[in-house]
Every structure is written in structure tokens, then in C-alpha cells.
Structure 1
Amino acid sequence: MNPLSLLMLGLAMSTDAFAAAIAKGAGLNRPGLTQALKIGAIFGIVEAITPVIGWLLGSLAAEQIDSYDHWIAFALLVGLGIHAIHGALTHNDTATEDVAKERSLWSTALTGLATSIDAMAVGVGLAFVDVNILVAALVIGACTFVMVTIGIMAGKALGNVFGRRAEIAGGIVLIAVGAIILYEHTLGAAV
């Protein structure tokens, strides 16, 4: 696999994470570049690990992963979207910052996992291509890191302008990303 193909693969794998990052950035309370970089790193690491797992599973598990990966991603993203909407509607300003950070880390990790499940299936496919899986995983992780960092900062701008409405919209975007993944893997495959 040539370098341009690897870059294109990395960018393709980071699109769901980018959309989720915009939603996440809109829901955060004034995220700075450092926080955006941390969130980008979490997404990037998760996105880099999942294709390696898929590659290790190889062709034996390809059908099993492909048959339900979209349902897992859909359920996680819809759940996180509903959680974001609920949080915006019932926002409690007296909540401690530590609890908010803990929830944010958990939510970030789950969102990263949900948007990277398809990368596991891609990893299975990479087992049959002449590619160094570690290089491919690093490219996918790096692209995701950059795209998520940009997405968080773009979401911040939306959050600053629209406040809680942006957080609700972010929850709707997470649900929509989940629905798109489900559509592409079920109905979209039939077209």
C-alpha cells in the first residue's frame, strides 16, 4: 500500500471521529487547545489500536465483526447522544469539576471506541494486503488525532455562539453519526 493510499485510509477512518469531535467540542465548557489535544490523543490512540486488533483477528473473524460492528457503534453513539442532550437539558452548574472531568473522560473514551469499531473491520481487511500494520495504525491514529483536535476547536466555536443549543445539536449529531454508520452497513450495502 503506497503512502497516499495510507493517508487516504487514515482520513477516511477519521471522518466519524471528526463529526463526533465537533459535537463534543460544542458541549464542552470553553475547551482550550490543550484539552482538544488530549481528546484528540484519546481518539487517535483508540483509532490506532482497533485496526491492529482487527488485523490480529484476521479473516477468521471477518464475518463475525462485520455482522454486528455497526450495531455496536450505533448503540454507543445513540446512547452518548441521548446522554449529551439530557445533560444539556438538565445542566447543573453546581456539579463539581472533578465529576465533570471523570464523565468527560469516560464519554470521550466511549465515543472514540464507537467511532473506531469500523476500523477494526478495516484491520481485518489489511491482513490480506501488503501493508505494515503498525505503519497503517500510526497513520490512522495520527489522522484521527489531527481531525479530532480540529473538530473540538470547531465545536468550541459553535458552543460559544449557541450555548446549550449547541450541546443538544451535538447530541443529535452523535445520534446521526450512529444512524449513518448503521445505514451504510445495512441498507447502504444493499444499494
Structure 2
Amino acid sequence: MSIGFMFLFNSVLLGVGLAMDAFSVSLANGLNEPQMGTRRMCGIAGVFAFFQALMPMTGWVCIHTIVSHFQAFEKLIPWIALVLLLYIGGSMLKEGLAGGGAEEERCGVGFMALFIQGVATSIDALSVGFTIAEYDFFLALLEALIIAMVTFVICLCGLHIGKKVGVKLAGKANILGGVILIFIGLEIFVTGVFL
């Protein structure tokens, strides 16, 4: 696969879909720390972005170590991507429709809590390593960096909105993220199986 419009477009969409949990948590963090400065906002958004880049690369490395030993496993990658993204997207959609949103804390978030938030909101990005298994290392890294940049921007927006408005949009963010992940899962499946 080469770097073209569809690669960049899918990478940005994937980043938006994966960043919705971090956006929801950022809304709550902004609400609970209304005096948060720009430096702290960048630090929080940076943690979320870091984990959103780390997890796909971790998944990619795992798949490549497995696939190099078991070539037959490669045919299952579109199915695995479909199941994982449908599950994750469906869970986000269900949570959004049920009115679930970001978890609220009443004081500013500490380092350990932020670390846990970063891992918890990016664990679904681990499955992206399955979906980008056909990419070489450079393309996988580029996709991970695009996801990280999109996450950073979205989290900054979430923190800013949270400071101003609160967590009212958190459920809608999960709905949007779920729909996007389901769409990408279906697109990867159709491309991998039928094309």
C-alpha cells in the first residue's frame, strides 16, 4: 500500500474513531479542572496521543511476529479486524445510546490516574495492529503518528470544551466513535476479503 489520499483519509477517520473515548475523558478532566492552563492541557492530550500511537504499533509488532511463523493466520486478519472493530464500535455505540459518558472525578487528575486513563482509552487501539498488518513498518508508524496527532487535537478540544460546557457531549462522542469504528471495520473486511 502506498501513501495516498485514501490512506490519509482512513488514518484520520481511524484516529477520530479511536479518540472518542479519550475525548470523553478529556471533557470530564476539563470540567473538573476549570483553571487548567495550556501547558497542562497539552500534557494531558499528549498522554492520550502517546498511548493511541503506542497501542497500534504494539499490535502491529505482535501480528508480525505471529504471522512470520504462521502464514495461514494472515487470511484471518480481515475477520479479526471486523470482529474487534464491530465489538469495540458496538460497545461505544451502546454506551453512547445508553447515556454513558466520561467518568467524572471531582478534582484535578494526577499522574497515575492520567496514566490509567491513557491506557484505558487506548486499549481498543491495540486491535488496529491487526487491521494494519499488511503495512510495512514505515506505513504502520505513519498511521500510528496520524492517529496520535488526531487524538492530540481532539483531546485539546475536549479539554477546552469541558472547561466551558461540561460533559454533555460525552455520549454523542461515543456514538460517533462507535459508528466510525464499525464503518472502518466493514471497510477493512470488504477490502481484505473481496478485493
Normalising by the residue count of structure 1, what TM-score does the alignment of the two structures yield?
Answer: 0.68
In structure 1, the residue matched to 2:52 is 43
Between the aligned partners of 1:183 and 1:112, the Cα distance in structure 2 is 16
Distance 1:134 1:67, change over 3 A: closer
1:6 deviates by 8.0
Distance 1:78 1:163, change over 3 A: farther
AA partner of residue 85 (structure 2):
A
Distance 1:176 1:157, change over 3 A: farther
1:145 to 148, 155, 177: 148
Q: How many residues align?
A: 178
Cα RMSD between the aligned structures? 3.8
Q: Deviations over 1:62-103 (max 9, x none)?
A: 2212123211122123324545665439x6656995696476
Between the aligned partners of 1:63 and 1:81, the Cα distance in structure 2 is 28
159-168 vs 60-69, greater mean Cα deviation: 159-168
In structure 1, the residue matched to 2:121 is 108
Tell me the secondary structure at the aligned position of residue 88 of structure 1: coil
- Higher normalized helix content (fraction of residues): 1
In structure 2, the residue matched to 1:18 is 16
Alignment of 1:48-127 (within 5 A): 48-56=57-65, 57=67, 59-83=71-95, 86-88=99-101, 101=114, 104-114=117-127, 116=128, 119-123=129-133, 125-126=134-135
Ranges in structure 1 where 5+ consecutive residues have no aligned partner: 127-132
Contact 1:46 1:113 in 2 (8 A): yes
Distance 1:100 1:122, change over 3 A: closer
In structure 1, the residue matched to 2:43 is 34
1:171 to 171, 174, 179: 174
Distance 1:178 1:134, change over 3 A: closer
AA partner of residue 148 (structure 1):
T
1:46 deviates by 1.4
Overall identity of the aligned pairs, in % = 11
Normalising by the residue count of structure 2, what TM-score does the alignment of the two structures yield?
Answer: 0.67
